[in-house]
Chains A and B, each alone.
Chain A
Amino acid sequence: MGEDTFRILLVDLDEQKGDLIHFGDPTQALGGSGLGAELFAAYGRKDLPADDPEQPLIFAIGPLTAYFPLMSKVVLAFKSPYHQQYAESHAGGRLAMAMRFAGYDAMVIRGSARTPSCLIVGARRMEVRDVHYLWGQDVLATGKWLRKIYKGHSGHRSILRIGPAGEKQVAYASINVDTYRHFGRLGGGAIMGAKNLKGIIVIGDSNLDLSQGKEYRNLYKTIYRQITDSSAMRKYHDLGTPENMIPLNEMQAVPWRNMQTTHDDAAVQISGERFAEELLLRKTACAGCPVGCIHVGLLRENFASGYEYIYRQVSYDHEPIFAAGSMLGVTQAGDVLMLLEEMERQGLDVISAGVALAWATEALDRGHITERETLYPLKFGEAKGYQQAIRQLGGRANEFYHFLGQGTLAAAKHYGGEDFACVLGQEMAGYATGEAFFVSQAYGLRHSHLDSAGYGFDQKAAGKNEWAAVEFFLEEERRRVQLTCMVSCLFARNVYTEERLQECLSSVGLKKMASNISRQAKQVQANRWRLKFECGYDPSQIAIPKRFKQVRNWKGPVDEAFMEKLSKSYRLATAEVAKAGRFAATQSSESD
């Protein structure tokens, strides 16, 4: 990519053809989040449902992808089947680097394949291959088969696939990327399912000449040293994000058993320390990241008498441990891995699946549903029942699992129990830190804990000024959008300051982009909000359920009045931001 135009691969699954186009202005759209939004504005259909074949699935990298450490993520832009709005999800693995070396700034996939298919893309290749025999296979088996089906370029390719949940269009089906990473949230996997797309293989088989001189090489070295020597990054490598479990639990800020409480002494049993000491097998990394934050645990299973064991490797993080552990009252680390592995096989977003089953457990206990619906007994702490339920959810085995597969709130609306549905725009992430986090997830663009770090604001002694909180959310969002346009891993947010990003862009010859970055990141922020509102987002339709108002943590009970004031202010502010959205890019008529 230069500063003139983006290089985009358009794929039409109906016709099994591709087109290579020049698109947009990189000095305006930047890349990643900005490019995804521009492409959705050009190719997305706001008037059609998310699962319509015409809807695009857009994978976008950024101007610094592969050029610097931790520039290792891909933005997926799409219309979500979860809420029928514009959505973004991010994933690492090898995909970003594979796309860089395949030579595409973005891939836009439209249409629906005639039979279950795998899209194979490289610098010199584009093929839609029939893989109908893989339909119904779980995510791990599909990965193995796809590696056999396409044998070349081991280590220099990325393999994406969906499981039964994506095929059945569970609204929070994930896309698995290279086994241990995911486009997890908001149902990208269901869109692949709707397109009859079981897998995508991206081959990074070209090489780029570096005309940049010493300035670039020295800057790379400086940043590499900063990342590998810094204690701030070490935490992601050592215990990883699960190091949060004990401190958050001490603050009474971990949701336990469908957030009936926020503290449990059993936290120590599912802590980062316990996982590391007893189950950690090894660590691995996304391509281009020397941190290595992916923690892979050993799941050892006794399948018969006579000391018969099998073993599996399951990645874990704070959010998955919250979703398959504390939220379900599961306090044995091995059981948490067992549930995560099952969610992985089904191709479910683990946060949503865990929170949905936590709601189902309480709904069963309170009599809103019976075992006729759940098919298996669900009790907090009893992992075997959850393992079965996850399989039913992935396959949408009956009407109940069909509703639950549309989202916890969809099921609660049908069966009752909305008060205790832990949903903030989508199923909550693992922080019961208080008003700012609850509001920031409920009304944030991606309904993600990563949108604007509301949990960080909760932990500041910032008082209860709703406009100070809104200002914090919006500036934090802008700062993060700047990174997700590049596309950086957000773990590197303290390394890649605005000044550092400008240096990086200049060193690779993108000087105009470097001088524009702050202003254009703000523009991208507005553009994303505009798309969300234009898809029908109505924040007044999102209510924060009663359960969140009953939370007590280290600060005392949640201040309901403050939460209400903050909700209103943030909703107003985002509607105002959306008004500044504008899309300049148009497709060039000229093909490569």
Chain B
Amino acid sequence: MKALRPTRMERCIGCYSCSLACARMVHSSLSWQRAGIRIHSAGGLSTGFEAQLCLACDPAPCVAACPTDAFSQRRGGGVKVKRETCIRCGSCAQACPVDAVYMDLESGYPVVCIHCGRCVPFCPHSCLEMVDTTNGKKADG
């Protein structure tokens, strides 16, 4: 089981291609926010960039906080999201220690990285990679 890791963010040029790819391909959106990975500058452009995304916790505090089981534990870390049962309460976002859950302003639904890796080929500097979090043990997706 793999999880997305921003292992080489010191190489980031701030092009937002990863966020745009996630928004476009996972969320059918044009956005630099409605994405599982979001890029911020760390106090001005002269200090480089940071990626804000799910750290693939196991157990995940957002899962524990979700009152309707819309968030469930993903094996290998992170969460699986079942939007049909989400009541848009925002508890998941409040529970996340690294602010990885974005509450979408238009729809009110949480947006979080699902560790699908579709953003990885869109990073021109190979800042991102999918890392095995289960030591090669077979896991469900």
Contacts and interface: CB of A to CB of B under 8 A. Distances in A.
Contacts of B43: 147, 154
A349 interface: no
Interface stretch (A204-212, A266-274, A424-432): A204-212
Contacts of B25: 217
Interface residues of B, number: 34
B123 to A, nearest CB: 8
B29 A204 contact: no
Given A154-B40, A220-B24, A313-B46, A97 B32 contact: yes
A292 B125 contact: yes
Given A228-B124, A287-B32, A292-B125, A179 B24 contact: no
A69 interface: yes
Given A207-B29, A207-B31, A207-B106, A147 B24 contact: no
Given A208-B31, A228-B124, A283-B13, A143 B105 contact: no
Given A283-B13, A284-B14, A207 B49 contact: no
B72 interface: no
A286 B14 CA distance: 7
Given A147-B44, A205-B33, A220-B24, A288 B122 contact: no
A160 B31 CA distance: 21
Interface stretch (B15-23, B86-94, B128-136): B15-23
Given A143-B44, A178-B45, A210-B30, A292 B105 contact: no
A101 B122 contact: no
B14 A285 contact: yes
Contacts, number: 100
Given A147-B43, A205-B105, A217-B25, A155 B124 contact: no
B46 A156 contact: no
B68 interface: no
A505 to B, nearest CB: 15
B39 interface: yes
A367 interface: no
Given A66-B30, A207-B31, A208-B31, A290 B105 contact: no
A209 B28 CA distance: 6
A224 B17 contact: yes
A209 B105 contact: no
B34 interface: yes
A217 B24 contact: yes
A78 interface: no
A156 B24 CA distance: 17
Contacts of A291: 15, 124
A378 interface: no
Contacts of B34: 207
B58 interface: no
A206 B49 contact: no
B5 interface: no
A284 B13 contact: yes
Best-surrounded residue of A179, A180, A292 (most CB of chain B within 10 A): A292
A291 B45 CA distance: 17
Interface in B82-121: 104-106
Interface string A211-229: 0000001001000100010
A275 interface: no
Contact of A287 (B14, B38, B50, B106): B14
Contact of A208 (B16, B17, B30, B42): B30
A108 interface: no
B51 to A, nearest CB: 10
Interface string B46-59: 10111000000000
A289 interface: yes
B41 interface: yes
A67 B24 CA distance: 10
Nearest to B40: A155
B39 A155 contact: yes
A210 B24 contact: yes
Given A206-B105, A284-B13, A285-B13, A155 B122 contact: no
B23 to A, nearest CB: 7
B122 to A, nearest CB: 7
Contacts of B106: 206-207, 209
Contacts of B28: 209-210
Contacts of A100: 30
Nearest to A72: B15
B20 A288 contact: yes
B30 A156 contact: no
Contacts of A292: 13, 15, 124-125
Nearest to B11: A282
A144 interface: yes
Best-surrounded residue of A66, A206, A284, A294 (most CB of chain B within 10 A): A284
Given A155-B41, A287-B14, A224 B31 contact: no
Nearest to B44: A147
B31 to A, nearest CB: 4
Interface in A267-324: 282-292, 294, 296, 313
Given A209-B29, A210-B29, A217-B25, A69 B45 contact: no
Contacts of B44: 143-144, 147, 179
B37 to A, nearest CB: 12
Nearest to A293: B13
Interface in B51-89: none
Contacts of A67: 30
Interface string A15-34: 00000000000000000000
7 contacts: A97-B32, A154-B42, A156-B32, A179-B46, A210-B30, A290-B15, A294-B13
Given A147-B44, A288-B15, A288-B17, 15 more contacts: A67-B30, A100-B30, A101-B31, A154-B43, A155-B38, A207-B34, A207-B104, A208-B29, A208-B31, A217-B24, A282-B13, A285-B15, A287-B32, A288-B16, A292-B125
Q: Which 5 A-B pairs have the closest CB atoms?
A: A155-B40, A292-B13, A207-B31, A290-B124, A285-B15
